[in-house]
Amino acid sequence: MRLNRHPQEILVSRLYAANQDKIRDHFLRLDILSRRARFCGAISDYRILEYAKNIFRGDSMVCGASVDGQLRGIVELRGDFHSWPTTKEAAFSVEPDWQNIGIGDALFERMFAMAQNRGVRTIQMMCLKENSRMRHLATKHHTLLRSNHDAVDAVLHPYWPTLESVMKEVVGETRGYAHRLFE
């Protein structure tokens, strides 16, 4: 199923340990190609279950994008939020039938605001060289791309928090909360 592009239908909000089952099911719905692109290699259902179980271990923050109340994409921001200067790794996944309608873009914006609001100085992203869609998304958001052998390392330096970045997160979370209340 494909939607036309209606960014207002995409709801992005933070996910917590209580949402772990939804996160697991989202990862399991990724097909072989998307799994390979997301994890930079093949990954079995068993490894996905393990990964999802441990996703909140450490300092990870996770945001989910839902359409019609169903989780369709997530971004993880991993790393120690207490170290200084802070460097985080971001990783995206959007389910195959829901790719290319703006979910990755919406997740990118929220991830960036979240990192900026927490004083993160560097965000790194790793994707396969052939992943031109992720590379496009990264450059669209002013990321510096560096090529390794098979992968591309993307680096992004957020600014300090601004009123705009704080409002982006607050308004987004409030919208998500209001939707859940009336669901």
Ligand X SMILES: CC(C)(COP(=O)(O)OP(=O)(O)OC[C@H]1O[C@@H](n2cnc3c(N)ncnc32)[C@H](O)[C@@H]1OP(=O)(O)O)[C@@H](O)C(=O)NCCC(=O)NCCS
Between residues 29 and 133, which has the closer beta carbon with respect to ligand X?
Answer: 133
Backbone phi, psi, residue 153, to 5°: -100, 125
CB of 160 to ligand X, least distance (A): 25
CB of 97 to ligand X, least distance (A): 11
C-beta nearest to ligand X: residue = 104
Question: Which residues would be at the binding site for ligand X (CB under 6 A)?
Answer: 34, 37-38, 91-94, 99-105, 125, 127, 131-134, 136-137, 140
**By 3-state DSSP, what share of the chain in percent is helix, strand and coil, each rounded to 5?**
45, 25, 30
CB of 106 to ligand X, least distance (A): 7
CB of 91 to ligand X, least distance (A): 5
3-state secondary structure of 113: helix
Between residues 154 and 176, which has the closer beta carbon with respect to ligand X?
Answer: 154
d(CA 61, CA 90): 10
Between residues 3 and 59, which has the closer beta carbon with respect to ligand X?
Answer: 3
Give Cβ neighbours of residue 139 (< 8 Å, ≥ 6 apart): 145
CB of 35 to ligand X, least distance (A): 8
Between residues 59 and 105, which has the closer beta carbon with respect to ligand X?
Answer: 105
Tokens at 20, concatenated: 């772990």
CA distances from 37 to 22, 48, 73, 106, 178 (A): 20, 14, 14, 19, 33
Omega of the bond leading into 158 within 30 degrees of 0 (cis): no
Between residues 71 and 137, which has the closer beta carbon with respect to ligand X?
Answer: 137
